[in-house]
């Protein structure tokens, strides 16, 4: 009999894409749909990126490139790290790949054997569990409900780390938008120092999207002795409005960067020259677009938060980064919308999409079935209308 590998029975398509696809189908069928579902930034990089691409096309060698990434790209990313407060990294500490997702997959392959444990906070970005499942690793889930601001506490981390080969940390967080303050990072870093057998992966891809002057802080700044175990993951997708260009980075100990390079040599070989040129231009060119977008997202966050917090029973900690709001909507469970029973987050999101044409992702996709995720990067003009429909839906619950 012909069979697939056993790991494929553990692999699932992304739950976020399922909602996005349903919304797309309804739109194609002529429905007026407002999508709060997929986490795309919805802006394009500036003209300097396209100019660099045209230039690179004209000069393209058509050849294989470096498994680690072109020197110009490694240097551009190294400067980007420095601007974010991470100094002392060299080309040997860095590797590039096809987006942060690919980097996370490579890191998991490099660090986790079947049966090993990877610990991370819940709510989590969906792919964390899926990658661990495919590789036969055990996910140790650390619940961080709305009542603790969706943030991990030092005591929780301390209890979770014994026996964990990897701790995966996401700041700012998808799906909650929460950002850890400098003091919170320092307190968690103090705990990490006590557990020397655990690798630390920081998925920091929203690090340029932080609001309210909170700033982006990381464990290495707080406790420099963690540098030998901390691996930073970054990407152009969100910061530069380039999710489809598929450029990701890791920066960390040389052995880790080398492991990623070895996997690259067996998976992808290299990033194409044209993509590399676009990435270098994005990282080294004018930074006004990312800055403007961040300011716009902060204003949109205010609008969304005001709307959800005006609904009686809905609880939503104040997000300070990324472009997500993650309200706890469990007050709706057990109610009905126009006769349609709402037992859980999936029912809620389906009924909301069918009745109001508003697409959100059920919290269960992120391990928290009491909530849903609103991604607020839709065109600015659509946001008030989407929020109005969201409030109406709640008001119509009986
Ligand atoms: C927390 C987090 N990590 C990683 C990724 C993957 O990003 P990329 O497009 O660089 O693969 C995403 C994308 O949504 C994300 O939200």
Distance of CA 374 from the midpoint of ligand 1 (Å): 16
Separation of CA 64 from chain center = 30
Mean local confidence (pLDDT), 90-111: 98
The answer for residues whose C-beta is within 8 angstroms of residue 222's C-beta and 6 or more apart is 182, 185, 186, 189, 190
Q: Which atom of ligand 1 is nearest to the CA of 243?
A: 9
Q: CA 141, CA 164: separation in Å to the nearest integer? A: 11
Residue nearest to atom 7 of ligand 1 (CA): 100
* Residue 249 to residues 72, 95, 343, 373, Cα–Cα distance (Å): 13, 6, 41, 26
Distance of CA 100 from the midpoint of ligand 1 (Å): 6
* Residue 174 to residues 170, 297, 342, 372, 389, Cα–Cα distance (Å): 7, 14, 25, 12, 24
Question: What is the per-residue pLDDT across 208-239, written as a single tens digit (0 to 9) for each?
Answer: 999 999 999 999 999 999 999 999 999 999 99
Q: What residues flank ligand 1, with Cβ below 6 Å?
A: 39, 99-101, 125, 170, 174, 203, 205, 235, 237, 243, 248
* Residue 340 to residues 34, 80, 359, Cα–Cα distance (Å): 21, 50, 17
Q: Which two tokens stand for residue 99?
A: 């987006």
For residue 123, which phi and psi values (nearest 5 degrees)? -65, 145
Strand locations in the chain, DSSP E?
A: 34-35, 94-97, 117-122, 138-143, 166-170, 199-203, 230-235, 248-251, 324-325, 335-337, 340-342, 358-359, 361-362, 372-375
Q: Which pairing describes strands 117-122 and 335-337: parallel, antiparallel, or unpaired?
A: unpaired
Q: How many CB atoms lie within 10 A of CB 83?
A: 11
* Residue 222 to residues 33, 55, 176, 352, Cα–Cα distance (Å): 45, 41, 23, 43
Where residue 316 falls (left for φ over 0; alpha for ψ -120 to 50; beta otherwise) is beta
CB 220 within 8 A of CB 226: yes
Distance of CA 51 from the midpoint of ligand 1 (Å): 26
Q: CA 324, CA 300: separation in Å to the nearest integer? A: 10
pLDDT band of residue 353 (cuts 50, 70, 90) is very high
Question: What is the per-residue pLDDT across 10-20, written as a single tens digit (0 to 9) for each?
Answer: 877 766 777 78
pLDDT band of residue 21 (cuts 50, 70, 90) is confident
For residue 125, which phi and psi values (nearest 5 degrees)? -70, 125
Q: CA 149, CA 168: separation in Å to the nearest integer? A: 18
Coil, helix or strand at residue 341:
strand
Q: What is the pLDDT of residue 15?
A: 67
Q: CA 183, CA 45: separation in Å to the nearest integer? A: 34
Question: pTM for this structure?
Answer: 0.96
Q: What is the pLDDT of residue 74?
A: 98
* Ligand 1 pocket mutation, candidates 122, 127, 375, criterion most atoms within 8 A of CB: 127
Mean local confidence (pLDDT), 371-395: 96
Share of the chain above pLDDT 90, in %: 93
Question: What is the per-residue pLDDT across 321-348, written as a single tens digit (0 to 9) for each?
Answer: 999 999 999 999 999 999 999 999 999 9
Provide the mean pLDDT of the chain: 96
For residue 35, which phi and psi values (nearest 5 degrees)? -95, 115
Mean local confidence (pLDDT), 23-32: 91
List alpha helices for 232-341, DSSP H: 254-267, 273-284, 288-309
Nearest to residue 322, comparing CAs of 206, 196, 199, 201? 206
* Residue 198 to residues 118, 148, 168, 173, 219, Cα–Cα distance (Å): 9, 24, 10, 21, 14
């Amino acid at each position: 009999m012909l069979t697939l590998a056993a790991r494929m029975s553990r692999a699932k398509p992304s739950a976020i894409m399922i909602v996005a696809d349903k919304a797309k189908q309804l739109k194609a069928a002529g429905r007026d749909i407002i999508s709060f579902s997929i986490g795309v930034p919805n802006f394009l990089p500036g003209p300097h990126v396209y100019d660099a691409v045209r230039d690179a096309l004209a000069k393209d060698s058509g050849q294989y490139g470096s498994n680690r990434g072109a020197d110009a790209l490694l240097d551009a990313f190294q400067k980007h790290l420095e601007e974010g407060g991470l100094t002392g990294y060299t080309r040997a500490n860095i590797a590039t790949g096809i987006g942060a997702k690919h980097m996370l997959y490579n890191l998991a392959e490099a660090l986790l054997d079947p049966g090993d444990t990877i610990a991370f906070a819940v709510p989590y970005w969906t792919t964390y569990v899926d990658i661990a499942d495919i590789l036969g690793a055990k996910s140790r889930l650390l619940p961080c409900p709305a009542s603790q601001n969706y943030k991990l506490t030092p005591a929780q981390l301390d209890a979770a780390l014994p026996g964990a080969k990897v701790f995966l940390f996401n700041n700012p967080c998808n799906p909650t938008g929460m950002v850890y303050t400098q003091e919170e990072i320092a307190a968690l870093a103090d705990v990490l120092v006590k557990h020397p057998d655990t690798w630390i992966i920081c998925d920091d891809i929203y690090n340029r999207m932080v609001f309210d002057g909170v700033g982006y802080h990381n464990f290495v700044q707080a406790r420099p002795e963690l540098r030998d175990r901390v691996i930073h993951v970054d990407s152009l997708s969100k910061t530069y409005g380039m999710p489809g260009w598929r450029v990701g980075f890791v920066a960390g100990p040389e052995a880790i960067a080398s492991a990623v390079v070895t996997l690259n040599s067996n998976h992808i070989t290299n990033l194409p020259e044209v993509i590399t040129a676009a990435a270098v231009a994005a990282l080294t060119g004018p930074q006004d677009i990312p800055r403007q977008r961040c300011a716009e997202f902060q204003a949109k966050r205010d609008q969304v938060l005001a709307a959800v917090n005006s609904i009686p029973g809905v609880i939503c900690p104040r997000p300070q980064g990324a472009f997500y709001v993650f309200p706890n909507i469990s007050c709706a469970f057990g109610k009905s919308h126009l006769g349609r029973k709402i037992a859980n987050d999936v029912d809620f999101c389906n009924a909301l999409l069918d009745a109001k044409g508003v697409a959100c992702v059920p919290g269960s996709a992120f391990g928290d079935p009491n909530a849903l995720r609103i991604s607020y990067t839709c065109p600015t003009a659509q946001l008030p209308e989407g929020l109005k429909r969201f409030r109406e839906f709640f008001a119509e619950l009986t």
